[in-house]
């Protein structure tokens, strides 16, 4: 796997923690009137980090392992909004979520670092994407990370818009 992607994956837990820490504590569960323009799924700040944790563990851990162990498995998408409801993201403990995510990401990076060229070329069929290699799955994971950092920044921007309208933080 290329070093830029591995570095981005390894550094992401710290970036996620930094971006989440920038959100005022009393706005962790806040949602805007409109989600127009959000570059990620429409989750509150606490929802963003819960979603990232769940997609890492229930999505990419599972997808990568199946792609490595099975012949061209079908990898279904995950309904993040269903997980949000079932797992009550609004009442999650952020420190616990971030710690679980950090541990899961460490496992992911260790797995990826250990893959040889043949393993990276193993194929799967990813719902809504089509045929994809393990290498491609890793790139999609990295892209997903960036979308959620952007989602947190977008929420911070919307919080500032609210302040401009006289809302208190």
C-alpha to C-alpha distance for 60 and 75, rounded to whole angstroms: 10
C-alpha to C-alpha distance for 123 and 169, rounded to whole angstroms: 48
SS3 of residue 132 by DSSP: strand
Q: Rg for the chain (alpha carbons), in Å?
A: 17
C-alpha to C-alpha distance for 60 and 50, rounded to whole angstroms: 14
Return all residues near 105 (Cβ < 8 A) that are at least 6 apart: 9, 10, 12, 13, 56
C-alpha to C-alpha distance for 112 and 154, rounded to whole angstroms: 30
Per CATH, the number for 3-23+41-164 is: 1.20.120.450
Query: pLDDT truncated to tens, each residue of the chain (169 aa)?
Result: 999 999 999 999 999 999 999 999 999 999 999 999 999 999 999 999 999 999 999 999 999 999 999 999 999 999 999 999 999 999 999 999 999 999 999 999 999 999 999 999 999 999 999 999 999 999 999 999 999 999 999 999 999 997 656 676 5
């Amino acid at each position: 796997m290329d070093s830029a992607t591995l570095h981005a994956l390894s550094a992401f837990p710290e970036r996620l923690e930094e971006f989440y820490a920038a959100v005022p504590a009393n706005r962790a569960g806040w949602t805007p009137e409109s989600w127009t323009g959000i570059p990620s799924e429409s989750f509150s700040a606490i929802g963003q980090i819960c979603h990232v944790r769940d997609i890492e563990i229930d999505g990419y851990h599972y997808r990568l392992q199946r792609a490595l162990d099975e012949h061209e498995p079908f990898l279904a998408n995950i309904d993040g909004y269903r997980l949000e409801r079932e797992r009550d993201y609004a009442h999650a403990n952020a420190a616990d979520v971030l710690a679980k995510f950090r541990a899961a990401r460490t496992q992911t990076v260790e797995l990826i670092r250990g893959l040889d060229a043949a393993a990276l070329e193993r194929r799967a069929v990813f719902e809504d994407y089509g045929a994809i290699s393990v290498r491609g799955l890793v790139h999609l994971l990295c892209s997903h990370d960036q979308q959620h950092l952007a989602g947190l920044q977008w929420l911070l921007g919307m919080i500032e818009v609210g302040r401009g309208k006289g809302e208190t933080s």
